[in-house]
């Protein structure tokens, strides 16, 4: 058995703050030309990106892949929508999930697994402002408790 090698290229840390993550799924990305070389160099941004289901296919929007510097004519639009590779039953499951009120598809991480570029897609529900405040307050309370416990000798 061969060990799977995973190298995380980009992560969307803001997504875990902005959304409740319900479920995650791994998908491949259809890339053109020099985009893979640019991704390997880490020139990718997934902060503002989201995914949609259109005509039974899943597309990721606003994922910025910077043009490859040695790439000349083969560079493509850095913000173009890219198709995600999923099985039909997975697409149907995602479509059913996002038809519910308040759910969306958000990319969490982009990584290279066994030489292939993959994206971890999350079915997420947007947090309200009070939910974010609650999470921040809980984190601060835990931090204070740890500091207080370590201050005692």
Average confidence (pLDDT) over 106-130: 88
**Tens digit of each residue's pLDDT (9 = 90 or more) over 45-90:** 888 899 999 998 999 999 888 888 776 766 677 888 899 999 999 9
62 is a domain residue: yes
Model pLDDT for residues 91-106, shown as the tens digit of each residue: 988 888 888 877 889 9
Whether residue 134 is contained in a domain is answered as no
CA–CA dist 67, 76 (Å, integer): 7
- Domain region containing 61: 6-127
CATH number of the domain where residue 28 is located: 2.40.280.10
Examine residue 13 and state whether it is found in any structural domain, yes or no. yes
Q: Decide if 103 is inside a domain.
A: yes
Quick check: 1 pLDDT over 60?
no
The whole-number pLDDT of residue 107 equals 92
**Residue 152 counted as domain residue:** no
> Could you give the number of structural domains in the chain?
1
| CA distances from residue 85 to 18, 57, 80, 147 in whole angstroms, order as listed | 26, 8, 16, 46
């Amino acid at each position: 058995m061969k060990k799977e090698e995973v190298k995380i290229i980009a992560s969307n840390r803001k997504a875990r703050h902005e959304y409740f993550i319900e479920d995650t799924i791994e998908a491949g990305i259809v890339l053109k030309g020099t985009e893979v070389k640019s991704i390997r160099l880490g020139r990718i941004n997934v902060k503002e990106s989201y995914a949609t289901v259109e005509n039974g296919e899943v597309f990721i929007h606003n994922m910025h892949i910077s043009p490859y510097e040695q790439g000349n004519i083969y560079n493509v639009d850095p913000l173009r929508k890219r198709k995600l590779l999923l099985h039909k039953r997975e697409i149907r499951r995602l479509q059913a999930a996002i038809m519910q009120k308040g759910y969306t598809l958000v990319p969490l991480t982009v990584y290279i697994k066994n030489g292939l570029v993959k994206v971890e897609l999350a079915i997420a529900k947007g947090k309200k402002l009070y939910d974010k405040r609650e999470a921040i307050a809980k984190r601060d309370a835990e931090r204070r408790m740890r500091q207080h416990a370590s201050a005692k000798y």
